[in-house]
Chain A
């Protein structure tokens, strides 16, 4: 185990639902990330938080709303999603945001939007 947990592991939701993904890291890191992994496409960085402040928003639609209440927890709030948003959503954390820092990934949440 990497020390990064994600819940739920699987989620099925309709386009009008509101749900949240949760990520928790037990590594004492101060940077956290959300990635989207779609079939046949490279991992896409969505958001970066450093010391609980958002430092990167990679042109993600507003139907995805991140929240980082403290350095150990990261949420991704979902509303009015589209079927093309179905993917594996991965959370990661690192000690800092320097380019030599290793990111540690959680197991992901498999999301299906109907």
Chain B
């Protein structure tokens, strides 16, 4: 079975400082991994995804994530936070089993950006 653990339910940073949102996964197969962002009263927007190509994945809005198989981690980073980054972030794993695209979501990390 696959699972995702987002280690922090809330993260608070100052504008202009780095962002680190942590995610660990468990999967019996070679996984695909995603980060989605959800702004208030909006749906989920894809930030980036890993699908067994380069382990360092670059996404939109300056975000990137590194797939580390030995640590079973897929942490999301950004060098400099902006006020507009305040939102909820979800780490997601998708198993490479037969039978379809089954995503397992983490519980989310709420990012707060302060002046």
Contacts and interface: CB of A to CB of B under 8 A. Distances in A.
Contacts, number: 65
Contact of B44 (A31, A90, A99): A90
B45 A2 contact: yes
A97 B43 contact: no
A45 interface: yes
- A contact residues, range: 20 to 34
A102 B49 contact: yes
Interface string A74-109: 000000000000000010101011111111111110
B61 to A, nearest CB: 15
A41 B44 contact: no
A103 B101 contact: yes
A43 B105 contact: yes
Interface in A51-93: 55-56, 90, 92
A32 B4 CA distance: 23
B107 A42 contact: yes
Interface of A: 2, 4, 6, 31, 40-43, 45, 48, 50, 55-56, 90, 92, 94, 96-108, 110
Interface of B: 4, 31-32, 34, 36, 41-46, 49, 51, 90, 94-97, 99-108
Given A45-B102, A99-B96, 18 more contacts: A2-B43, A2-B45, A41-B107, A42-B104, A42-B106, A42-B108, A43-B90, A45-B103, A55-B100, A99-B101, A100-B32, A100-B94, A102-B34, A102-B49, A105-B36, A106-B43, A107-B42, A110-B41
